[in-house]
Homo-oligomer: A and B are copies of this chain.
Amino acid sequence: MSPATPVVFIVDDDPSICRSLLRLVRQTGFEGHSYGSAEEFIEVQKGPLMRPACLVVDLQMPGLSGLELQQHLQQGAARCPMIFISGNGDIPSTVRAMKHGAVTFLTKPFDNADLLRAIGEALERHRAELSSDRQVRQVRDRMAELTERELQVMSWVITGALNKQIAAELDIVEKTVKVHRARVLEKMQAQSVAELVRLCSLAGFAAATSGSAVD
């Protein structure tokens, strides 16, 4: 929850653009780093980002293009919102970038205020994403400590099934279910079934074959 300074990464093959943008973001109070190519950025920024960040990237560059960089990052660890800038971008590129989650697509020459607005939005988006990811990871970590049996029991508990029903389902005695259930709540650090349900839904953990009340 530490308010680490947001960082803005700039990827452009034109050094003068890099310098100019760096100056702008630093003046605004962000940390800034620039890279002359997508490959260079990928090389340097391998691990997952631990603080709010965003990318300002040129569409056309020698080597990997902005769109290719976007695609590359989406399946990597260093995902973060991207802002595209381009001197002569086209609509198909814009559509593709936006469909893949770009914050915006600016055409040169652009207004500094527009870029800063976009950066603000990107950082905010990333902040929310990081926070959500942290929660999910935390829940997943706890879930990883469960034994296979406990996982099975949990998947039934969160459907609202009674211990008796779970016991029948797993072909064990009700007493055993109680033991597992208790350990599940303990390991998951949930004070109640309601909270357990919440945690599981947060982590995208599906309940066992349950009948939902809504079609």
Q: Is the CB of A160 within 8 A of B192?
A: yes
Chain B nearest Cβ from A49, distance in angstroms: 19
Interface residues on A, range: 35 or more
- Which residues of the other chain, B, contact A89 by a CB distance below 8 angstroms? 91
Chain B residues lying within 8 Å of A161, measured Cβ to Cβ, are: 192
A189 CB within 8 Å of chain B:
yes
B199 touches A198 (CB 8 A): no
Q: Can you list, as one digit per residue, whether each of A78-98 has a CB less than 8 Å from chain B (1) or not (0)?
A: 000000000001011011001
User: How far, in Å, is A16 (CB) from chain B's closest CB?
Assistant: 22
Q: Mark A192-215, 1 if CB is under 8 A from B, else 0.
A: 111101110110000100101111
Q: Does A38 contact B (CB under 8 A)?
A: no
Residues of chain B with a CB closer than 8 A to A193's CB: 160, 193-194
User: A160's closest neighbor in chain B, by CB?
Assistant: B192
Interchain nearest-CB distance for A185 vs B (Å): 10
- Interface: A104 (CB within 8 A): yes
B95 touching A159 by the CB < 8 A rule? Answer: no
- Taking a contact as CB atoms under 8 Å apart, the answer to whether A214 and B135 are in contact is yes
A161 to B192, CA, bound (A): 8
Residues of A at the B interface (CB closer than 8 Å) are: 1, 89, 91-92, 94-95, 98-99, 104-105, 107, 134-135, 138-139, 157-161, 188-195, 197-199, 201-202, 207, 210, 212-215
